[in-house]
Structure 1
Amino acid sequence: MSTVDDRPGGATARTGGPTGRAGAGHGRRGVTADRWEVGSAFPLVVPAGGGWAGLAESVRLYGSGRQALVALLEYGRHEYGWSAVHLPEYYCPEVADDVAAVLPVHRYDAGPAGGGEPPRVGPGEALVLVSYFGTPPVRPPTPAPTGAAVIVDATHDPLAPWLSHLGADYVFASLRKTLPLPDGGALWSTVDRPLPPAPAPSDGQRLAAGTILAAMCLKTAYLGGAGLAKEPYLAGYVDGERRLRAAEVSAVSDFTATLLPALPVDELRVRRITNATVLADRLATLAGVTARAYPFGVVLECESHQRREELRRGLISRAVYPAVLWTLRPGEVGPRHLDYSERMLMLHTDARWTERDMTRVAALVRQVRQAAATTRAPAVPAGAPHRPRPISRRPRHQPSDDLPPKGAPC
């Protein structure tokens, strides 16, 4: 869902500045001028504020959003006899893989680019709706049959006000995609459905969270100007993500369980949405790119995959690290959703940065587009003789060797 930092030995590190009090000094405090960057995983930040007033005992916490969904599906299979789960075609592939290990999966035509026929959900089946970038999902026009359950993935905006009015049986979210936490997933019901028993903590979860937390600490030190190399914390994020992906269903780490109630989640959400509005406004007249503000950030839709990759590489070289949500697999999704996934980029707008940072990011996006336009080979007129380009003798590098990963396990 969100991206992690570069691999050790890769391009520039993906970092962002820690915050002070929500709404004041975001993106500047504690970050040296020569280490300004936008995007990617959180460093260790503990913003002060009002705390999470809505976090109640009815919310079940897990090690990740994936674990929350898996635990719910296992519970539904044993308690209610759920026999299958319907997932949208446009969805995180790694999560779909883990879901398929619990229940048979049926994919239906839905995604940010629109949908087709609504899924035919049978009795005793579960339907997962996804809030793409924080927008309300589209419910099927007919009510779910008896014994069926509707589940909403609200990872991109867990505090969305429309969630309580949607009437879904269950809601789950990965908390670390919008909050500065090393781990954490949440599961709750807006209609008071029973939840699975609270999970026990596991050593694998503790190790994964501890590894990521150590990377967050090192990243904070680096951003503040400490004489540290990037490689240690970059390797820590990669190792932590790997461990978290492999961890069994577990309780959340003690660190996250302790910090979560104190985070000013409402203020952080407002700042993220405000920044997204500013950034999208600054990009409103950019030719060839459609910029849309969402509660999760700004999504850029380019005219082609080639132009998207030009923009992505150009931004990375300028210390802006966009996310690809998600890199879908050909053959598993329809052509419309695959095309959209290959043309989109998500720009982070969370509370690590100020409106001034968003204006700077917009200027860099325009700079990359202009640079690409001036260096791009002119179109060959119809009927003109083809002249092959000279073969370069320079070593050829694959994108995976010199660019950060496009996405991380969800």
Structure 2
Amino acid sequence: MQNSRVIGGEFDVDLQGLQYTQSNNGSLEGVYKYSSGRSALYYILLDVQKRYGITAVYLPDYLCSSIVTAVEKSQMKVVFYNLNDQLEIDVEKLPLKDNEKAAVLLINYFGLKNLQPQVEFIRSISKEIIVIEDDVQAFYEFRKPELIADYKFTSLRKTFACPDGGLVKTANDLPLVSEANKFHQYKLAGSILKSLRKPEYYDDDVYLHLFEKGENHIDDEIERGMSQISQEAITKTDFERIAYIRLRNIRQILNGLKTLGIRTILPVSEDKIPLFVPIWLEDRNKVRRQMFQQQIFCPVHWPLEGMDVQKGVEMAEHEMSIIIDQRYTNKDMCFILTTLEKALK
């Protein structure tokens, strides 16, 4: 069984769909728009400092390095806290003091967590705490109208065919940024070339170079806003259809994983629409290499990139994310499972 196309990597953009689909989902109402997820967090942290006089932010010890970048650019102090095996606050090791004035970042890992108990626990320690909910992996949780944290934010690039975009929800007034970032142009150009790709046209390196060039400029443009094309793309996105496809793919993957005796890192409940299905593998790198050979590019959450974070070190060795997004069919899910089974032998 040979794979006929690449599974994974950045989204390609459907230009025809953008041209003809109507804007109607109201996804940008009541949100603040920035260039990326880290840009969204940066503006949240600036507001936290100015509004509440807070200078320190507690981060979990399993995270993407871009979060640390955003905190450093906002010039706030980083304090790490430990997570347990359920990727929740390790209550006995939390260094937060009674009535301490600080910000705490909670990550909705893979879009599979219910963060409310953790929010309530933190607030029981200190009423001076400001809670920030990271929904970068949890767009469908971000969409829900409830605001249990003081701020919540998400990113669009990993979930949809948008070259850029970070969104924030909060009851506070945040800055409106009208000047769009420039990096989205490289991301967009790469996405268009990827969508047109046939082997006889050009090598993968051509569009991958554009993706990389865009990626290299994201941190430099942390103060910029969201592009017009991403604003158009997200308002024309059919969230319900995408959720249906993702849920269909998730069910198929979970049944296959059960047969193979592979455990998911977190339980996948029916009311969640995760970004990926995260699995635990003893020899993750060997399995991942063999899947690469079949053009299945499963990401890892997250490479350490110089960070010394306890839970992050453990996960960086064993976590692999199974792709279940809206680009893929039942046949693709079968191919992922078949390849995974062979790679485990």
TM-score category of the 2 structures, normalised to the smaller one: 0.7 to 0.9
Counterparts of 1:172 and 1:111 in 2: how far apart (Å)? Answer: 23
- Mapping of 1:53-202 within 5 angstroms? 53-102=25-74, 103-110=76-83, 113-114=86-87, 115-117=89-91, 118=94, 120=96, 122-135=99-112, 136-137=114-115, 138-143=118-123, 145-160=126-141, 163-165=144-146, 167-189=148-170, 193-202=171-180
Q: CA deviation at 1:325?
A: 0.6
Aligned to 1:356: 331
Is residue 253 from structure 1 mapped to residue 215 from structure 2 by the alignment?
Answer: no
Structure 1 residue 274: deviation in Å?
2.2
8 Å contact from structure 1 (residues 175, 184) kept in 2 = yes
Q: Percent identity?
A: 24
How many residues in Structure 1 have an aligned counterpart in Structure 2? 326
Please tell me whether the aligned partners of residues 111 and 138 of structure 2 are also in contact (alpha carbons under 8 angstroms): yes
Name the CA shift for 1:112/1:350 in 2 (closer, same or farther; >3 Å): farther
Report the alpha carbon displacement of residue 237 of structure 1 after superposing the two structures with TM: 0.7
- Answer yes or no: is 1:44 the counterpart of 2:20: no
Task: Indicate the residue corresponding to 1:272 in structure 2.
Answer: 246
1:112–1:132 CA contact under 8 A, matched in 2: no
CA contact (8 A) 1:40 1:348 kept: no
CA distance in 1, matches of 2:305, 2:205: 30
Q: Is the 8 A contact 2:36 2:222 kept in 1?
A: no
| Equivalence map 1:241-390=2 (5 Å) | 241-287=215-261, 289-291=262-264, 293=268, 295-303=274-282, 307-328=283-304, 332-334=308-310, 336-370=311-345
Q: Distance in 2 between matches of 1:95 and 1:249?
A: 15
Deviates more, 1:35-44 or 1:173-182: 35-44
**SS of alignment partner, residue 299 of structure 1:** strand
Q: Which amino acid aligns with 1:344?
A: E
Task: Give me the whole-angstrom Cα distance separating, in 1, the residues matched to 2:232 and 2:143.
Answer: 27
RMSD: 2.5
Tell me if structure 1 keeps the 8 A contact 2:119–2:149: no
Q: How far apart, in 2, do the equivalents of 1:317 and 1:296 lie?
A: 23
- 1:406 aligns with none
Give unpaired runs (5+ residues) of structure 1: 1-32, 371-410
Structure 1 position 216 matched with structure 2 position 191 = yes
- Partner-residue secondary structure (3-state), 1:360: helix
Q: Is the Cα–Cα contact under 8 Å of residues 272 and 297 in structure 1 kept in the other structure? A: no
Cα shift at 1:170 = 1.0
> Residue 44 and residue 73 in structure 1: after superposition, are their counterparts in 2 closer, same or farther (change >3 A)?
same
Is residue 111–residue 132 contact of structure 1 (8 Å, CA) maintained in 2? no
Which moves more between the two structures, 145-154 or 124-133? 145-154
Contact 1:150 1:170 (8 Å CA) reproduced: yes
Change (3 A) 1:196 1:161: closer
SS of residue paired to 1:263: coil
1:235 counterpart residue number: 209
User: Closer, same or farther in 2 for the Cα pair 1:63/1:166, shift >3 Å?
Assistant: closer
Larger radius of gyration: 1
Query: In structure 2, what is the Cα distance between the partners aligned to 1:244 and 1:82?
Result: 26
Q: Does the Cα contact within 8 Å between 1:61 and 1:185 map onto a contact in 2? A: yes
**Which letter does structure 2 place at the counterpart of 1:131?**
N
Contact 2:302 2:312 in 1 (8 A): no
Normalised TM-score (structure 1): 0.73
Cα shift at 1:316: 0.2
- Give the counterpart letter for 1:237 in structure 2: F
CA pair 332-113 structure 1, distance change in 2 beyond 3 A: farther
Q: Cα offset for 1:162? A: 9.0
Quick one: distance in 2 between partners of 1:235 and 1:91? 26
Give the letter aligned to residue 57 of structure 1.
E
> 1:175-226: per-residue Cα shift (whole Å, max 9, x none)?
111011100100012xxx2131111315xx22x1001100001101115x66
State how far apart, in whole Å, the 1-side matches of 2:312 and 2:166 are: 26
- SS of match in other structure, 2:344: helix
User: When you count helix as a share of all residues, which structure comes out higher?
Assistant: 2
